[in-house]
A and B are shown apart, each in its own frame.
Chain A
Amino acid sequence: MKSQNRVVPGLLALSICSTLATLTISAGSAAATPGPRLRLEPAALTFTHAGEVREVTLRNTGTNVLRIGSTRVWHDGSGVPVFTADPLEATGLLPGQTVALHVRFVPTAATAPLPPGGAFGALLVPCDDDTLPGDPNPGGGAYIGSVALRSSQGPPLLSLIVFFPLLGIPFILLVPRGRESLTRIVALVTTAVPLGLALWMIRQFDPTVTRTAGTWGLQFVEHHGWIRGFPVEYFLGVDGLSVTMVLLTALITVIAVGASWSIPLTQHIRGYFALLLLLEVGMLGVFCALDFFLFYMFWEVMLLPMYFLIGIWGGPRKEYAAIKFFLYTLAGSVLMLLAIIALYYSSKATYLVDGTPTAHTFDMMKLAWANDFGAESPIAGFAFPRIVWLAFFVAFAIKVPVVPLHTWLPDAHVEAPTAVSVILAGVLLKMGVYGMMRVNLSILPEATHWAAQGLAVLGVVGMLYGALVAMAQTDLKRLVAYSSVSHMGYCLLGLSALTPTGLTGAVAQMFNHGTITAMMFLLVGALYDRTHTRELSQFGGVAHVMPRYATVFGLAFMASLGLPGLSGFIGEVLVFIGAFPAWQALTITAALSVIITAAYHLSAIEKVLLGPFNERWRSALAGFDLDLREAATLVPLAIIVIVLGFWPAPLLTTITATVQDLLTAVATP
């Protein structure tokens, strides 16, 4: 045994070395073949203040004369040109010869002193050095050398927010045996930091920025190259829509960690919190990623933790619920993958953020604003944009969920532990609608017009169906789950109207439903922890023994049914106002669901809180009103629900500019 212990480090070193060796041998690099070679120094320039001038040197390091075409500056984003360079006409460089150029950073009045989202561009030098990437752009040179130009960006706030939870995972796994309660503290801290950062970000966020201000109307942009020879980029940024969702995600995750106190410490608690944190990374990443490849990776990263969280810590039918969730979502996302690839191959040639020319792009902003997919040749007889639109729609509709694809949701909710239900309803469902706005609406506007009526019908069907089925439920958690189906229908209806009010309503509904439904699941969980049942018929008169619980319960359910003065009302009324001009008959039909919604919410309140108290629960409930931890998770949400109820302005102003941009995209096909 001893000798083996000596062998092991050696073997470890050898095997790792061999792995690394095979990975890093860059085979073709060897001898440089003779010819013209362009070297640009420096390779990237970062400007910190307006009017700054920097020098770029072009040098021929090859053996032949280097022919250089006229250089030009290229700007990423929709923005105003902010970089200028000395003009250099077509010329030849002898081997060893150099030319110096000056590049200036001159923000215009519109963007002064610094563009809000940062400025990205590149100095492009067309030449005949065939080791550089060829330029497929019309009017470009044969090969392009480039110097990346950007304004200084400040700290990478979004990266910090998205990846901070990852830092907690090793600490959680390292918590010593017997001190498992520490995992909760670590998880709470590592989720609180992104929340704090998100709050700070939203304070810095300028809601007036639109697309015309540059960088596609984004803020806190981080845009870097990623893989050599493959046009994926590390591109994060937020606009009004995603900043709202990032805040919601960070908030709901902290609440979920608070709700996780009820998970027994003996039940693999390290794995539980590690997966929860990984899930948060995926969720935050989806809302921040603006490169399609990155977006898809974050989207899929959410699947695994969710599968295990439901599968290991869920209720009696957890296996079924977990695999159903997994298969549904994966089926949707592989469709999305194909659609992404199809869009990619149909996109126009452009430049990456560092000026590398590329024949196609994954940049969601360029796909949305600089490409028109209407002219693509049809696939198997179907118009290209429509078939791609449908693929995206199905992928997102499964997440929303839109009615025929919703059946995974009740199962997942009923089996999932409270905290996971909170995340599922509070954040994951929003991803579907977010995806529709970010992708279907802005990238494929003409197909959106084509599908708008169908979208509206699906929305109304979801509202009515969800509400009717919720009315028939005897299980409180299932009722709340179906109410989610119904409420997400509002978002779809608001979306389909393609009016500012409708879209604003849809976004408001997303945020408000996130907070309200999180409260509802927390309340259901609190009751279940005490009585181990969720049967509506088993309860009654809870208000007599748990007054605080009853107060919050009433508030949450009233908010959910859309009582004016509470936040749920805002989204619904905006959706109806926005949708009415577009779909009058449908909107009137949809209004029926308000009545049904009121009916089942009130009946739930009546069955749980009012009436005679079921003496069976005397020992479980009496004297066990909401404790401090539960209150700490519920009260912040309650405050948000009340405040946004009569003062929705902070939420609405944040999203106004983005909604305008979205509608511009739809209006100009």
Chain B
Amino acid sequence: MTLANLPSFRHLVPENILVLGILALVGLSLARRPASRRLAGAIAFLACLAALAATALTAESQPRVLFHGLLARDLFGDFFKYLGLVTTAFVILVAQRSRDAIDYRNEDREAPEFYALLLSAALAVNLMAAASDLLTAYVGLELVSVMSYILAGFTPGSRRSAEAALKYVVYGGVASGAMLYGMSLLYGLAASTDLATIGRAAATAPALPVLFAAVLCLAGFGFKIAVVPFHMWCPDVYEGAPTPVTAFLSVAPKAGGFALLLRVFGQISGHAQGLADRSPWLLVLLVVAATTMTWGNLAALGQQNLKRLLAYSSIAQAGYVLLGVAAGGVAGQEAVLFYLAVYLFISLAAFTAVAAVADSGGGESVAEYAGLGYRMPLVAFVLSVALFALTGLPPTAGFIGKYYLFAALIERGHNGGGAAFYIVAVAAVLNSVVSLYYYARVLRAMYIDSASATHQTVAVAAVHRVVLVALTVPTILLGVYWSPLRDLVHAAVGTW
């Protein structure tokens, strides 16, 4: 049912809580200087948890349309809100002890500003998750982008960080320009910005302009999820940005991007006589996905900086997830959602490990990780689990996620999708073998090439230890018993 403006606010409690948190942080930064890092972190963390709880408590299986059709409140959107908020909560904790995010060694500089920006980005991800109109989709995506530009350049006086921010702005601007142009074409074709109306109109409009507009839109969404050829910013930004921000970027905006991708293209190509039936749209998606995973994995092979290596790996992972989008149907969408949830834990764990090593004075290059397994056993263990999960090895949740993706592809191939789906499935599994090779390089450094390195145990910040454990437990647990997550995903896809 469609709600008018005022009644809509009742279903917007999580976002309102986030806004209050942001305002409180801004007030804090005005009131005291230097403001306490702990206080700012606590406010942000509590706002995040409260928003999370509010999302869960106000969730209804009945979908609603808010603000005369601008936003949707359904379990599908809520699922992505969980992803964004959980990510933000963890990142807030990690940032407490990361010199490149908040320079706590000197004074707790800019902590409230950092957290206010982070919460704004989380708010924007919520908006992306709920968008049911081109306008809200564009605003959400742009808001996430602008916040990310600032966050990426947040390390004071760091050349790398500034460079990352500049590249991010340039590539991001181009992508949003292309997407806006595509959206304007869709508006012209459908005479509406409402996604459902556009979907109905796309089924009758001539295929070529719709395909052109869809590809332009894909540029914008593809930029957020970092698929080839819109991935160029990704390695530089991941390497240059403060590590907690990298962790955030690797999960939350990607989740938002996939939410939009599924919503927009689900409408445009999902219907009978939609884009998928009348144009090579699925082939475009399959080719983009296959190229992305292959490119990401091959480029990662030669990387020496671990953050950069993980950046390429995350490009590859985005390619895998895009396979689920291409496979479509309930199975494909469930696979996408499942994988994103699993990827949240894995990716955050990997980057938290990097942050913990950096915090204790270690470098970012793979060579400097030599002997880490004996210096920082917990960090190395968590990083290993994360790498195994990224490869997709049981008994980690990464395997289950990959399984659902591959199964969705094969099911589509089996149900008349054609040989292309089988071929891409084979390419995907071969890719995971390739990826093992560079992940194993990190493992080798940590456990095997340890002869030259010191084995003196190094302390890890308590907050990092907490986060590492809290992320690893679900990574393994969901690998052997994933009913709860599967139910959540099933409900999210089912009611959409």
Contacts and interface: CB of A to CB of B under 8 A. Distances in A.
Interface of A: 3-5, 7-8, 11-12, 14-16, 18-19, 21-31, 226-230, 268, 293, 296-297, 300-301, 303-304, 307-308, 311-312, 318-319, 322-323, 326-327, 330-331, 334-335, 337-338, 341-342, 344-346, 379-380
B261 interface: no
Contact of A28 (B45, B75, B423, B448): B75
5 tightest A-B contacts by CB?
A28-B491, A334-B429, A297-B394, A27-B491, A15-B470
Contacts of B374: 268
A337 B395 CA distance: 14
Given A341-B403, A380-B423, 10 more contacts: A3-B38, A4-B463, A8-B463, A15-B90, A23-B478, A27-B59, A27-B492, A30-B61, A227-B481, A345-B411
Interface stretch (B7-15, B269-277, B482-490): B482-490
Contacts of B45: 14
Contact of A297 (B395, B406, B488): B395
B52 interface: yes
Contacts of A228: 483, 486-487
B90 A28 contact: no
A5 B38 CA distance: 13
A330 B86 CA distance: 33
Contact of B425 (A8, A22, A303, A338): A338
B170 interface: no
Contacts of B448: 311-312, 318-319, 322
Contact of B49 (A14, A25, A31, A230): A14
A510 B486 CA distance: 41
B-side binding surface: helix, strand, loop or mixed?
Answer: helix
B53 A303 contact: no
Q: Which of A25, A311, A344 has the most CB of B within 10 A?
A: A25
A264 to B, nearest CB: 15
A341 B93 CA distance: 40
Contacts of B4: none
B30 to A, nearest CB: 25
A333 to B, nearest CB: 9
B422 interface: yes
Q: Which of B433, B481, B482, B490 has the most CB of A within 10 A?
A: B433
B495 interface: yes
6 contacts: A24-B484, A312-B448, A323-B440, A326-B440, A342-B410, A345-B407
A297 B479 CA distance: 10
A-side binding surface: helix, strand, loop or mixed?
Answer: helix
B67 to A, nearest CB: 22
A22 B491 contact: no
B462 A297 contact: no
A311 B406 CA distance: 30
Contact of A341 (B410, B443, B482, B490): B410
A312 B75 CA distance: 47
Contact-residue bracket for chain B: 35 or more
Nearest to B488: A27
Contacts of A337: 403, 406, 429
Nearest to B485: A23
Contacts of A312: 447-448
B174 interface: no
Contact of B86 (A22, A28, A308, A323): A22
B48 to A, nearest CB: 8
Contacts of B159: none
Contact of A25 (B56, B494, B495): B56
B23 interface: no
Q: Which of A27, A308, A327 has the most CB of B within 10 A?
A: A27
Interface in B157-188: none
A308 B381 CA distance: 13
A361 to B, nearest CB: 14
B426 A311 contact: no
A312 B449 CA distance: 9
A21 B486 contact: no
Nearest to B467: A15
Interface in B415-433: 419, 422-423, 425-426, 429-430, 432-433
Nearest to A15: B470
Given A323-B440, A334-B432, A300 B399 contact: yes
B278 interface: no
B75 A21 contact: no
Nearest to A27: B491
Contacts of B437: 323, 327
Contact of B462 (A5, A22, A230, A334): A5
B473 A327 contact: no
A226 B488 CA distance: 17
